Each structure stands twice: as C-alpha cells, then as structure tokens.
Amino acid sequence: MQKLLAKRPTTSKPSARTRPSEAEAMAAVKTLIRWAGDDPTREGLVETPKRVVEAYREFFAGYEQNPDDILAKTFEEVEDYDEIVLLKNMRFESHCEHHMVPIIGKAHVAYIPNRKVVGISKIARLVDVFAKRLQTQELMTKQIAETIERVLKPRGVAVIIDAYHECMTTRGVHKSETTTVTSAMHGVFKSQATSRAELMSLIQQQV
C-alpha cells in the first residue's frame, strides 16, 4: 500500500509539461466517440468534447489542492474538549480508477481532539479533495484518515465510507443494491473497543 501511495499525486497538480492541453483532451474525447460507433461531427455531439473536458475539470478538481493545507488552520482555545467530533452522512461523488465510472456514497469522519480542532467544513472539504480524483474506495478511506492523523495529531481518528460503485451496479455483475463499506481506525478508535462502540452508536443514531 505504501508503494501505491508513493506513486499517486497527493499534494500538487500536474506540471504544464506533463499535462495534455485542452485541445488534446478534446481530441481524445472525439476518438472515444468514434470508437463507441458514433460521429463526433453530428449536431448533437459537436459540443460534447468541450463539455466532457469541462466536466472532468470539476470531477477531478482534487488534483489541484493540497489536502494538508485544508486542515492547516486550527483552533486551540476549545476548553480542553476531548470527546468525539463526528461528521456523518457526508455525500460524495468520486470516480473508480479501474473503469472511470462514478462512486457515490456517504462518508462518516470522526476524531477526538488533542488540543487542536478544525472547522467542520474543512473535514467536508478534505473528503471532497480525495473524492475528486481517480480512486479506489479503500485508498480514499485510508488517505482521509492518515491526513487527519498527520496534520491534527488527534487522540483518535476514524473514517467509514459506504458507497455504490457503478462499475458494479451498471455493468459487469449488475448488483444494483450492493454497497461497499470500508473503514480506517487510528489511535483510541483502534485500541479501545469502548471508543469504537460509542462512535458506531453515534453514527447509527437518527436525528
């Protein structure tokens, strides 16, 4: 896994030298349209390459951001708060790196502060940074947890993701109701069963 992490872009965007131009990307889309059996010059498809490139810019905006920077601003005047901070049911959209089709699901992210807390919107943004890249769910779960652990140095961090994979629901085995659940636990969430049980109880509670 460490070798896999080392090969992936984590904090910086591709250089101008290695990144294809927009024109090259649009030409590639035209090639795919032809490969699918259609004519990229017909009226309904003329603007499609440009639209696809614009959509990809949004889908994969996470490559443009440094996840550590998102958590850089913290608050230490929190009256020694040392209980669970949980953001649950955060919807995200990602794309499978194997078939480049959507992964759609919910993320639950929790940590127990060690003097530092971060604005709750920053946790949501961190999820999106990793979601907006070509991903596997297992690695995305690990990346979110390890970033929080590295930057905030909390007493514990937990990430649980539950998602539909369209590479499984709309093609292949066509198991449309199946979701995949992954988790990463660090610190007290890994070492203490009582902390894990409290976390799971909070996730399962209905508002």
User: With contact defined as beta carbons under 8 Å apart, do 82 and 155 qualify?
Assistant: yes
Single out the catalytic residue among 93, 99, 146, 198.
99
Q: Which residues contact 176 (CB under 8 A, 6 or more apart)?
A: 169, 170
**Is 108 tagged catalytic?**
no
**Is 76 tagged catalytic?**
no
**Is 186 tagged catalytic?**
no
Single out the catalytic residue among 65, 135, 137, 143.
137
**Is 177 tagged catalytic?**
no
**Is 205 tagged catalytic?**
no
Helix (H) and strand (E) counts for the chain?
9, 7
Nearest to 183 by CA among 157, 205, 164, 206: 157
Single out the catalytic residue among 93, 96, 146, 192.
96
**Is 98 tagged catalytic?**
yes
Single out the catalytic residue among 135, 143, 167, 186.
167
Single out the catalytic residue among 95, 108, 165, 186.
165
Query: What angle, rounded to 10 degrees, do the helices at 48-59 and 22-36 form?
Result: 110
Which two tokens mark 42? 């017909």
Single out the catalytic residue among 97, 146, 149, 198.
97
* Structure-derived torsion over alpha carbons of residues 56, 57, 60, 61, reported in degrees to the nearest 10: -170
Question: Which of the residues are catalytic?
Answer: 96-99, 137, 165, 167
